[in-house]
Amino acid sequence: MNLMEAIILGVIEGMTEFLPISSTGHMIIASHFLGIAEDQFVKNFEVIIQFGAILAVVFLYFKRFVQSFEFYKRLLIAFIPTGLLGFFLKKLVDQWLESVHLVATTLIVGGIVLIWCDKKFANLAVEGKNDSDLKTKDLLTLGLWQSVALLPGISRSGATILGGLFLKMNRKAATEFSFFLAVPTMAAATIYKLIKSVGTITSDQVSLLGLGFVISFLVAALSIQFFLKILAKSGFKYFGIYRIVIGLVIFGILTLRT
């Protein structure tokens, strides 16, 4: 991986982490078409720079993160399903991360679901529960919804938002809680990758990680605000359409290459 590739991946991560279009899927696709070898460092890079995007949430919602212990309690409960499943399925997840065909398929399926959900839950555009209204069972259910995104291309934020809507949360509350839940989820993934990478990362690679981290933070801060504005005006349908189009384009390119 060179400097320009690190910048491109950092921008893609920051733009897509909180949009319901799958940041991991876009990183895999970008790496594939840029010809970046999927070695262990690249896999670690794609996870570790996500923490830069996650810190953008803490920066933008700082007051929520210093509000009360109950807030952290809700996040921890909701994180449990993903933490457990991610730990036990980590080898299988690493195998999935190598499949561009799988990403293209899940992008299309997820796009159809988003368009459906935009109509199904139109009544929750404003009305509905907030995260403080969720019981322990609801939080664990929401964590299970997030766990679906262990499959690349599904979108962690999209799956969590959809779970929130099924729990009758209002659209903005479900979206913002997906941002908050990303913090412990991606922090755990980053720490795990860093521990596994101790002694294997060179000084040049540390520089690439730092660059990707900073770029993803800055771009994510802008992307979150953009997402909330689009969500308030148009819901999820345009993100669904985008997913379907990009998935079909990927299949077309892969077909032409064979």
- Mean pLDDT (the chain) is 88
pLDDT range class, residue 35, cuts 50, 70, 90: confident
Of 21-25, 95-99, 219-223, 232-236, the one with minimum mean pLDDT is 95-99
Q: Does residue 79 contact residue 216 with C-beta atoms inside 8 Å?
A: no
Q: Is the pLDDT of residue 197 over 80?
A: no
Q: Which residue has the higher pLDDT, 113 or 195?
A: 113
pLDDT at 7 over 90: yes
What confidence tens digit (pLDDT) does each residue in 75-88 have?
A: 999 999 998 988 78
Q: End-to-end CA distance of the chain, in Å?
A: 25
Lowest mean pLDDT among 38-52, 129-143, 213-227: 38-52
pLDDT at 96: 66
- Check residues 194 and 239 and name the one with the higher pLDDT: 239
Angle formed at CA 19 by CA 37 and CA 56, multiple of 5 degrees: 85
pLDDT reported for residue 258: 64
* Over residues 120-133, mean pLDDT: 90
Percent of the chain whose predicted confidence (pLDDT) is above 90: 53
Residue 58 has pLDDT above 90, yes or no: yes
**Mean of pLDDT values over 229-235:** 89
Q: What is the pLDDT of residues 147-156, one digit of tens each?
A: 988 888 888 8
Q: pTM of the full predicted structure?
A: 0.88
pLDDT at 45: 85
Stretch 198-221: mean pLDDT: 89
| Nearest 10 degrees: Cα torsion 30, 31, 33, 38 | -160
Share of the chain above pLDDT 70, in %: 98
Stronger pLDDT, 138 or 257, i.e. the higher one = 138
Grade residue 98 by pLDDT with cuts at 50, 70 and 90: low
Cβ–Cβ under 8 Å, residues 149 and 83? no
Most confident region among 6-10, 47-51, 91-95 by mean pLDDT: 6-10
Q: Does the pLDDT of residue 110 top 90, yes or no?
A: yes
Query: What does the alpha-carbon distance between residue 199 and residue 116 come to, in Å, rounded to a whole number?
Result: 47
CA distances from 52 to 114, 141, 192 (A): 26, 27, 15
Looking at residue 40, what is its pLDDT? 76
CA distance 1 to 27: 13
